[in-house]
Amino acid sequence: MSDKEHLADQQAETGAETHPLALAAALRRRLRRRERTFGAWSSLGHPEIASIFASAKGHFVGVDLEHSTTSLSTAQAMIRACHEHRRACLIRVSPGSVEQMRRLLDAGADGLIVPQVSKRDDIDCAVKIMRYPPEGQRSFGVAAAHQYGRVFEAYVKSANESLTLIVQVETMAGVERIDSIVSHPAVDGAMIGPYDLSGSLGIPGALTHPRVVEASKLVIKACTASSRSCGVHLVHPTLEEVRQHLAAGFTFLVLGSDVFNLWKRSVEVDAMIDLGEGSDNA
C-alpha cells in the first residue's frame, strides 16, 4: 500500500476526507489488497441497530434485504446511520432486483452484495446496474448519494472505481464455475453462503459437513489465485473460530448478526428460566 493510499484510508475513517465516496473507495481498496476485513450484519431493519454496529470496530456493516422485510426507505436510513459513524455500508440485494439495486445505490450504498451468483453473466448484469456509462447503464439521477446535487460531479466521476461488488457463491453450480466468477475484473470479493451451499448439496444446515468444507476450499483457492478477497458469515463466532477461518485462507469475515446474536441470547435466557423454575420446584 502506498503512503497516499494509507493516508486516504485514514482520512476516510476519521472523516477528514470529504469526498462523497471516501468510505466506499477505502473499503474497496482494502478488499482488493486482500487485507483482513471484518463486518457486522443486520437483518432487522432499524437504523439504531446499524448505528450500534457502525460505532463498534470493523470495516463495514452489511444490511440484508434478501431475507428480511426491510424497506428501501429504512435501508437508506441505515446507510446514513453507518456513514455518521464513518463506516461503509454494503447492501445484500434480492436476486435479480434491478430496481432495488438502482435505488439503493442512489440512496448512498457503498456497494452491493449480490447473492446466488452461479455464472459470469450474473456479474455482467450487476455491473450494468452499478456503473455509469460507458462501463454500465446506471441512470444519472440526483439523490442522497449525490447529496441531492451538491456533490453530483464528484460522485459520478468516482463511482465506477469506488463502489464494491461482492458476489455470493451459494450453489455447487457457482463452485464449479468459481475460477470464471472470481476472475471477473469487476469482482472485489466472493462470499460463501454456507446455508444455501449446504442446501445445494442436499444437507441443509450442515455447515461443517466435509462436502461443504471441501466446496469452500475450492472457493478460497480460486480467490487466492485471482487475488480476490474471500469471505464467509460466521453464525456464532468465537475467537478460535475466527483464527481457524483466517488460517484457512479467508480474508474477510462477517461476525454474527443481530438475528443470530438475539437468537443465541434467547436460548441462554431459556436456560436461565428453566433453572429458575426448577429451583422453585425443588
Cα–Cα distance for residue pair 228/242, rounded to 1 Å: 19
State residue 205's pLDDT score. Answer: 87
Residues 196-205, mean pLDDT to the nearest whole number: 92
Instruction: Give the pLDDT band (50/70/90) at residue 96.
Output: confident
- Show the domains of the chain with their CATH numbers: 21-281 (3.20.20.60)
Does residue 172 surpass a pLDDT of 70?
yes
Per the CB < 8 A criterion, the answer to whether 127 and 134 are in contact is no
Which of these, 250, 231, 237, lies nearest to 62 by C-alpha position? Answer: 231
State residue 16's pLDDT score. Answer: 58
pLDDT digits (tens, 9 = 90+) for 243-262: 999 999 999 999 999 999 99
- Of the residues 19, 46, 59, 67, only one is catalytic, namely 67
Please give the torsion angle defined by the CA atoms of residues 15, 64, 93 and 176, in that order, rounded to the nearest 10 degrees.
110
Residues 100-109, mean pLDDT to the nearest whole number: 97
Q: Is 67 known to be catalytic?
A: yes
Residues 14-35, mean pLDDT to the nearest whole number: 90
Residues 142-169, mean pLDDT to the nearest whole number: 97
State residue 4's pLDDT score. Answer: 62
State residue 280's pLDDT score. Answer: 60
pLDDT digits (tens, 9 = 90+) for 210-229: 999 999 999 999 999 999 99
